[in-house]
Structure 1
Amino acid sequence: MFKPLAALAVALALTACVTTPRTGQAPLGVAAWNMEHLSEDGSQGCKARTDADYAVMARYAEQLKADVIAFEEVESVKAAARVFDPAKYQLVIEEGPAGEHFPCGGQEGRRLTRQAVGFAIRKGVSFDRAPDVSDLALGNPNLRAGVDITVRAPGHAPLRLLAVHLKSGCFNGLNGGACATLQQQIPVLERWIDARAAEPIRFAVLGDFNRRLARADDVLWAELDDGQPANADLSLAEGAATPKCDPRYKEFIDHIVLDARATRGLVGFEEQVYAAADGRPSDHCPVVALLR
């Protein structure tokens, strides 16, 4: 289910400049990036990394046309700082517990590190932080809360952002235990959306939804995108675009969901795909929405 403005924005992105023609003000870039088990120490956790691997990820972070990046699967602020230079970014991360350190499948002696959600906010962009949306974790320390901030970038109207990483394993349909969990998270998310839609500040929800929301018949997207209140008439920033990150997957599960007001400011969408020479820094590629 696509909104016409979102589809138009995808077409504009093919030729978009980095400034908006109406004001000359550079658009605000907001991104979502699942960083695949980003640990403080690359010898720990379920994704081994060398110093050179962290350096490659840091290079991609700098190449992003993004002022604010919602990140997922990050152990700590210290881990995030290995990719996002603290001299250039302000870093926040969810405050919930670490959860259980499960063994990493097929990796003898390695165990899961904390898989948290947070934000990297480019310095010069001010922000306020609201309490985490801890109800998204359903009281389970192995699930993630949402991190809730409002950013105030120079030359831009305020934008409220919620970073999420929802339950994996229910990419479509409603069968299986993972779907039962995801179905409990969706009403929590909808309550946050409806509350924000009744307020004067535009908003977006971004991150790893672990769900193919762009499918025309997706019942969970229909539940979120019910248009009540009016500003809860939502759009997917990717519009009709399809991912290029991994040829096995033809539909996004990482999304930037915009409210009606933010949708009117959408001027572009990009997926940053890794160069072959860099291998796979993460099993997800960053996605970026550009907003007036």
Structure 2
Amino acid sequence: MRYHRLMQRLFASIAAAALLSGCAGTLPVSTSETPLKVASWNLEHLAARDGQGCRPREEADYALLRRHADALGADVIAFQEVENRAAAERVFDPAKYEVVMSTRPESVRGPECRGLSGRHIQNQAVGFAIRKGVVWSRNADLSALALGNPNLRWGVDVTVTRGRPLRLLAVHLKSGCNSGRAPTDPDCPVLFEQGPVLETWIDDRARTGEAFVVLGDWNRRLASRGDAFLAEINDGEPAGAALTLAGGGRQANCKARYREFIDFIVLGTNAAERLEPGSFEEYVYGAPETEHPSDHCPISVQVRR
């Protein structure tokens, strides 16, 4: 058994290396019987043009992101911190993916970029990259998540309809309140105002019996024992609204300094019943942190159709 596991890991490493070297230019073929691989990836200030934004990149950097996107091998990727469709399509090749962007108007100029004097945070949008051949439809964006603030992100809502329907909501919640609930912290009250908006969406899906997943950058250590934010949205009512954190208490390995996830794939009851056991993965870049193409690593699960 140990030898079998070692050989599996060896073959997986060889396959990943082939993808990153450009030997494999196509995504895995998926059928209606194979599980749907769903992922989330914060792309860290992804701008549309070279040299722009708080994380200036050149063509080689975009090419590296494209190779990682292909190596991830997901059918649906919820992404965050992307300036616009043009930026997304520099990573998710339009020949392979359909890009679905938030319809929120571009945000006003944000605060100054950390460590880059004179540069300011650009529009940060949420969206999906959906592999060609996956059948899907769009639902109205969850604009209420912005709380009327033009700089807070909307949720993007799609339904994948090949096999049994699966409702997916991509989110990027307020940053700055990753644990606790300090009333004097200006970020925590905002995050906790977003909670009831999210809970309403969850409860509405549960009442209609939908299988649903909420995924993205929650900016919150939801897996911490007794997390107050998770407790508020996960009261188990109505039936079907009980939430499962994919990966449970797994330790994050993307960055040595941060061992708790803030990116999560959260499943409602019906979706959790279709979750492939042991399918949660954190995709690590296989390079020193200083060479990571984003400050977040993708996470993914497989859901039976």
TM-score computed with the length of structure 1 as normaliser: 0.89
Letter in structure 2 aligned against 1:227: G
Q: In 2, are the aligned partners of 1:44 and 1:113 still within 8 Å (CA)?
A: no
Whole-angstrom distance in 1 between the partners of 2:32 and 2:138: 29
Letter in structure 1 aligned against 2:159: T
Match in the other structure for 1:52: 60
Letter in structure 1 aligned against 2:61: D
Q: In 2, are the aligned partners of 1:65 and 1:288 still within 8 Å (CA)?
A: no
Q: What are the equivalent positions in structure 2 for 1:109-258 lying under 5 Å apart?
A: 109-153=118-162, 156-175=163-182, 176-258=185-267
What displacement does 1:270 show? 0.3
Residue 280 of structure 2 is aligned to residue 269 of structure 1: yes
Question: Which of 263, 269, 272 pairs up with 1:260?
Answer: 269
Identity of aligned residues (%): 54
Q: In 1, are the aligned partners of 2:209 and 2:240 still within 8 Å (CA)?
A: no
What displacement does 1:142 show? 0.7
Q: Secondary structure at the match of 2:202?
A: helix
Q: What are the equivalent positions in structure 2 for 1:31-110 lying under 5 Å apart?
A: 31-102=39-110, 103-110=112-119
Moved over 4 A (4+): none
Q: Which runs of 5+ in 2 are unaligned?
A: 1-8, 13-30
TM-score computed with the length of structure 2 as normaliser: 0.85
Q: In 1, are the aligned partners of 2:209 and 2:270 still within 8 Å (CA)?
A: no
Match in the other structure for 2:16: none
Match in the other structure for 2:25: none
Higher relative contact order (CA 8 A, sep 6+): 1
Question: Which of 277, 286, 292 pairs up with 2:298?
Answer: 286
What displacement does 1:232 show? 0.5
Whole-angstrom distance in 1 between the partners of 2:170 and 2:78: 6
What do you get for the CA RMSD once the two structures are aligned? Answer: 1.7
Whole-angstrom distance in 2 between the partners of 1:250 and 1:106: 24
What displacement does 1:65 show? 3.2
Match in the other structure for 1:7: none
Larger Rg: 2
Q: How many residues align?
A: 270
